[in-house]
């Protein structure tokens, strides 16, 4: 089945130790998103790729970086995780149909990050 | 005031009851998502709609673009329906999320 896969599902890291979260998709969608979701809050968009074009949200900290080496894979790098970065990280994909067109997003299962 | 408002925030029901969750938004949209998130879990897309009504199993979603309002209905609710239901509207290539409705269905 076509899907969005995130690895690992659970990640524990130490304060300040870099961590990389992975997202892959078999949907061949041209847009990939990374969201951060803290407990009892709505997901917050960190950045998205439209093909290889990277679009950073204005309030995304510099500590968060992303790479998209090809259509299928996208990585979230947290360079120096702080305690406040503990959250669920969600990857989503969509097909960009053009301005004004509704783009259904397909979500992965998420990676829960714990920072010790 | 949030651009996307949901009501109620919390909802409890007995198994078998008919459930309605409402979503109102104040921005122009091209489409609206209904999403489901189980405790500690990822997000599942239930529906995306831009007009009218969609049905999938026991779930029905409606939208009224003129009134900027959508509803999610669950018929014959079941304890496995217990989750947070999130309304999210498609703005300019971004989702704007509602505050979520936490549903608990008791046997």
What backbone torsions phi and psi does residue A71 show, to the nearest 5 degrees? -60, -35
Distance from CA of B107 to the nearest CA of A (A): 25
The beta-carbon neighbor of B45 closest among A6, A101, A105 is: A105
Cα-trace Rg, chain A:
14
Token output for B53 = 């009504």
Nearest to A21 by CA among A65, A84, A69, A72: A65
- Say whether pLDDT at B8 is over 80: yes
End-to-end, the C-alpha distance of chain A in Å comes to 36
Of B44, B50, B100, the CB nearest to A107: B44
C-alpha to C-alpha distance for B45 and A84, rounded to whole angstroms: 27
pLDDT digits (tens, 9 = 90+) for B12-32: 999 999 999 999 999 888 889
Report the distance separating Cα B33 and Cα B35, nearest Å.
6
Partners of B43 in the β-ladder: B37
How far away is chain A from the Cα of B66, in angstroms, using its nearest Cα?
17
* pLDDT single digits (tens) B31-67: 899 999 998 888 898 999 989 999 999 999 999 999 9
Is A104 in Cβ contact with B42 (below 8 Å)? no
Q: pLDDT 10s per residue in chain A (116 long)? A: 669 999 999 999 999 999 999 999 999 999 999 999 998 888 999 999 999 999 999 999 999 999 999 999 999 999 999 999 999 999 999 987 665 555 788 899 999 999 99
B30: nearest CA partner in chain A: A102
Q: Could A96 and B93 be called an inter-chain contact, meaning their C-beta atoms sit closer than 8 Å?
A: yes
**Minimum distance, in Å, between the CA of residue B11 and any CA atom of chain A:** 15
């Amino acid at each position: 089945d076509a899907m969005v896969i995130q690895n690992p599902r659970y990640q524990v890291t130490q304060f300040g130790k870099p961590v990389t979260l992975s997202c892959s998709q078999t949907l061949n969608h041209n847009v990939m998103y990374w969201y951060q979701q803290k407990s009892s809050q709505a997901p917050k968009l960190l950045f998205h790729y439209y093909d290889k074009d990277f679009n950073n949200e204005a309030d995304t900290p510099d500590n968060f970086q992303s790479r998209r080496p090809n259509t299928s894979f996208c990585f979230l790098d947290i360079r120096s995780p702080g305690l406040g970065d503990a959250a669920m990280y969600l990857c989503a994909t969509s097909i960009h149909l053009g301005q004004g067109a509704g783009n259904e997003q397909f979500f992965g299962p998420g990676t829960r990050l714990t920072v010790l | 005031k949030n651009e996307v408002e949901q009501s109620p925030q919390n909802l409890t029901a007995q198994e078998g009851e008919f459930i309605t969750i409402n979503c109102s938004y104040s921005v122009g949209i091209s489409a609206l998502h209904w999403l489901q998130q189980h405790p500690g879990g990822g997000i599942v897309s239930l529906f995306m709609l831009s007009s009218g009504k969609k049905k999938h199993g026991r779930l029905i979603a409606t939208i009224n673009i003129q009134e900027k309002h959508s509803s999610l209905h669950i018929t014959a609710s079941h304890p496995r329906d217990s989750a947070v239901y999130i309304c999210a509207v498609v703005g300019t290539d971004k989702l704007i999320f509602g505050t979520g409705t936490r549903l608990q269905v008791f046997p």
